[in-house]
Structure formats: structure tokens, C-alpha cells
Amino acid sequence: MKKYIKTAIAVVLMASLTTGCDDFLEEKLKGELAPTNTYTSTYGFEVGSAGLYALTRAEYNTWGEEDAFMHGNACAYEALHVATDIVEAINSDGSLTNFANLTLTPAERFVGSYWNWAYSLIASANLILGYSEENTNWDSPTDKERFQAEARFFRAYAYRTLVYLYGDVPYVERIMYDFRFDFTRTPKAEVLEHIIDDLKFAIEYLPENPDEVKDGKLTKWAAYHLLSEMYLFQKNYEEAEKAALKVIDSKHYGLMKTRYGVNKNKPGDVFSDLFIENNQNRKSGNRESIWVLQLEFNAIGGGTNSTDWTRRAWIPNYSGLKGFVLADTLGGRGIAQIVPMKWWVGTKGTNAEGDYPGIFNANDIRNSNYNIKRDWYYNNPEETALFGKKCNITEQTWFSTKHLFPTPTKFFYGREENLSLTGSYRDRMKFRLAETYLLLAEAYLGQNNPQKAADAVNEVRRRAGAPDLSAAEMTMDELLDERIRELVGEESRRFTLVRTETIVERVKAHNEKIKEKIEKDNSLINKLLLWPIPQTIIDANQGAEFPQNPGYDN
């Protein structure tokens, strides 16, 4: 099995050398793993398919190791959260500073690495699509369409990232063996049409029953979920509604409303159960997950020590305080590369000690101590004067030293045998039904139907023990707040605000630092809306005009 996974990753790397739109256009591999040798049977396409999954989950990679792709620095995924309305990157890892401060340039590392990751995934998908048309050696008459459906889903997923981050991007749908220097930027609207076509094909040929596929494998319902989001991006609200309802009405999925999994008899609640190790896949009893990235600790094909540093990003650097030592119950080693903003993290109208005014209702379990840790107690037994006493969160511990602050526990992860390890090492729910309901609500708001939008949101709120929203309360702002309550740290917040065209107003309302910058220089709004095209791409594309995004020309 290990050889199978390594072979799949080798095929991914091979694809990145043979197609795409940057340095990886030239075919260089001539050995036994060349596509002409690999894509000659169902088994060969299974290897290629595993490579697509590996490359997709490497979206969360940092420094590489045995992953299929690396971003080459810490906190690549957190770059999709800073300069929004939920987190700050004060005194952060340098990889986030320019994103958080709107001082981004076309030479920034993640600007280039996200581009390369997406086009590497597109290249690998196109390789499978091209060779599947030539191959005649299939174990089953449905194999060809099944592999094509997976490839087209992943191609759509990659282009989703590209249009959110860069806007108009070159659309490439076939294998390219020769260097090209004359790419042009395909309009975003046209790319969205291609994404939707790919997802419709995936829906037709991906498996239907999630109980009959291996953990992490795609079904048509994942494609419907993503299709709903893409229709929303397109402002085709009626079709977005239909796609979301397909998932909800399939009866394959349901919001988890009772305790389940490995800790069901321990203190906690059903929301905290969703994020406990080994509770993400259906075999644990989780019927909410639609698509789960397999990042499990010490598992073949799972995560590496460089995969998914979300835990390190969100968890305070508590071990830097006298009286604390690293503990798995405190999430392991955190270094607080981002910190939550105050405005949302607490309870509405609260005067409770240790709590902060925020967006949660008092009985909302997503705001419970099992899901947002506010009470921190010294845990080093060698510090007898402090041991067991409460350490208060202050402005200094929150925003200066980043030693302690209210922390979502959904990313807590520690292992007694190695408390300083870096990776989160836990399967990650990429799509789950709670978000499908929130996409449905967005579709109803787009159709000016706040009552149905409220009905959809209330399905999620009832599971959390929060009171129902009325139609009068159901605004886009309220929906965006609800996405924080339910999905903070899971969703790509930048994507949500770009899709809903609210990033400027939400930043002005909640991100004081960025608000001040924009008020001083209104042109910086361009840097909120889109990342720049990587400078290496523009420099290499000498055969055709390839304009930079507004705001990055100087």
C-alpha cells in the first residue's frame, strides 16, 4: 500500500512536469512512471487518481516532507483568513504579514505557490482525462467515466481557487507538452461556466452511495455541494438552491444531533464531537461529513508533519508563560500565528467574567467551553505556587504576547508521545452538511426570500441550541455571522466574502487596522478584492499581453 501511495505521488509530480502554464510545461520524465506506461489499465488510473487526492490535500501543506506539493512556508491556508473580518496576524510569522497588512506584491511566496498548486492539480487532472480517452484496457465498462468524473471534479476544485484569488486566469483543459509563452487570461465568467460543466459531469458519473466508497473518496454529493457554491458565485441563485437541496434531500446525510464517536461518554457536546480525532468519517457514525480529506496521524496516505498547521496557527503560545507546559488537552504546541478578533468571539450582551461581547447567543453550544476555550489554568506541577490556579486573559496576553486568548477548540490536537509535533494529523472535513444549509440560505437571500433563508439557517442553529432567526433578522450580515459561528477556521473566509461581495464592507466594519489603511488610500481596496498574478507568470508570458490585477502595477 505504501508503494502504491508513493507511486501515486510520483505520478502527480510527473504530471506537473508535463503540463500546465509555467515551468512545468516541458516533458522530462522518460522512465517507467511515464504516462504512456502508467495509464494503460484500470490499476494505472487508480494510481493516478490517488495522486489527485494527495495533491488536493497538499493544499494545506507547509514545508513538504512526503507530500505531493509544498507551499514552502508556514500557514499557507491562513493567508485565506487574514485581511478579512475574523482574525488578526499581529507579530505573526512573516509568511502572513504582507497578506494581513495589504502590502502584498506579485513576488510573495503564497501568491505563487497557490497558483502553482492549482495548476499542478489541473495538469494532473488533464493528464488523466487525456489518457483515459486513449486507453481501452478497463476492468469495468464504467471505469473510464468514473476516473474522468474524479479528474473533472478536481479540475473544477482547482479553478475555484484560482478565480477566487486571481479573477481572470488562463483556462487549460488538455495536456500541453510544448512550452507556451502566449497565454491569455480567460474571463472569470467563462471559467465559472467550465467549472460548472465539470461538476455536472462529475455528478453524473461519481458514486451515489457514500456507504459504498472508501473514506475520503468523492461522491456525487460532494460535486452537488460545490456546484451550489459555484452557482452562488455566478449569482444563479435558483440553480444554487436546487443543487444544495439535492444534497439535503438525498437522505444520505444529516446534521449530527446526538453525541457520537470515541468521546461520546465523556464531557462535551455534539459539536465538539465533530472535531475529535477519528470522528470525521462515516465509520465513526458521522453522517454530516460530505467530503473528508484524509490526514490521519501515522497512517499510510495520511498527513505528514508538514501537513495542516491550522492547530499551530490558532492555538495560543501558552507554553511560553511561566506555569504552563505543553499538554494534549490544551491542543499541543500552539504558536498563535493568527488571533481571533474580539468582536465575534464572545456572547451577545454578556457581562460574565472571562467572557466578551460577541455574536453567540448564551445557550449556543458552539460558544460553550468545549468549543471555545476561555478558562486557562496553570498546569506545570513544578510551579507549585501557580499550579491549578486560573491564568486570566488580558489585552497583553491576547494581542501582544499571544500567550492566551479565547480559542476555538476544533483545531486542538496533541499527542502525549510528541507534544511538540507540528502537523494537525487529523482527517479534515472539507464539505459538511451544515455548510450546505448555509449555502441554501445564501441562495434564498439571493432570491429575496428571507423566510426560507431563515428556515435553512435555523436547521443549523437548532442543532446548536441557538434560538430561531426570524425573516426580519435574516440578512446577509447575519448569514456571514452564522458562518463564523459554525465554520470559523474551516471555510476559506476570503472566498466567502469575495463570493458574497461583502469583503470591503465587512473589513470596514470589523477590521480596524485595514479600515484605517483603506481610508488613507482608497486604491488599497483593489488588494482586498484580488491577489496579484505571480510576477514569474507575467515575466514568462512574453508572447501575449498578460495584464496584472489592479493595484499591483507598481
Which has the higher per-residue pLDDT, 85 or 61?
A: 85
Q: What is the pLDDT of residue 30?
A: 41
- One-letter identity of residue 72: G
Q: 136-162 pLDDT, tens per residue?
A: 999 999 999 999 999 999 999 999 999
DSSP designation for 322: T
* Summary count for the chain: helices (H), strands (E): 20, 8
pLDDT-above-70 percentage for the chain: 93
Q: What's the mean pLDDT in 515-541?
A: 95
238-272 burial: b if 16+ Cβ within 10 Å, else e = ebbbbbbbbbbebebbebbeeebbeeeeeebbbbb
Summarised one tens digit per residue, pLDDT across range 466-489 is 999 999 999 999 999 999 999 999
DSSP labels, 455-483: HHHHHHHHHHTPPPPPTTT--HHHHHHHH
pLDDT (average), residues 514-542: 95
Amino acid at 249: D
Share in percent of the chain as helix, strand, coil (round to 5):
45, 5, 45
Report pLDDT digits (tens) over 22-66: 443 333 444 456 788 889 999 999 999 999 999 999 999 888 887
Residue 446 to residue 74: CA distance in whole angstroms? 37
- pLDDT of 554 reads 62
DSSP states of 226-258: HHHHHHHHHT-HHHHHHHHHHHHHTSS-----S
Residue 163: what pLDDT?
98
Q: Does 501 have pLDDT greater than 70?
A: yes
Answer positive or negative: Cα dihedral of 324, 329, 335, 340.
Answer: negative
pLDDT for the residue 357 = 86
**Structural domains of the chain in order of their starting residue, each with its CATH number:** 1-205+493-554 (1.25.40.390), 310-421 (no CATH)
365-401 per-position pLDDT tens digit: 999 999 999 999 999 999 999 999 999 999 999 999 9
Contacts of 379-384 with CB under 8 Å at 24 or more apart are: 379/323, 379/324, 379/325, 379/327, 379/330, 380/323, 380/324, 380/325, 383/322, 383/323
pTM (2 decimals)? 0.93
Instruction: Indicate the burial class of 388 (C-beta count within 10 angstroms; 0-12, 13-18, 19 or more).
Output: exposed
Buried b (16+ CB within 10 A) or exposed e, 60-95: bbbbbeebbbbbbbbbbbbbbbbbbbbbbbbebbeb
- Which of the listed ranges 28-37, 87-96, 294-303 does the model predict with the highest average pLDDT? 87-96
As a residue count, the chain comes to 554
**Which residues, other chains included, contact 425 with Cβ-Cβ below 8 Å and sequence gap of 6+?**
277, 295, 296, 297, 298, 302, 303, 307, 308, 413, 415
Mean pLDDT, residues 256-264: 95
Whole-number mean pLDDT of the chain?
91
Q: Name the amino acid, one letter, at 477.
A: D
33 to 49, 257, 317: CA distances (angstroms): 14, 47, 44
Output the pLDDT for position 389: 97
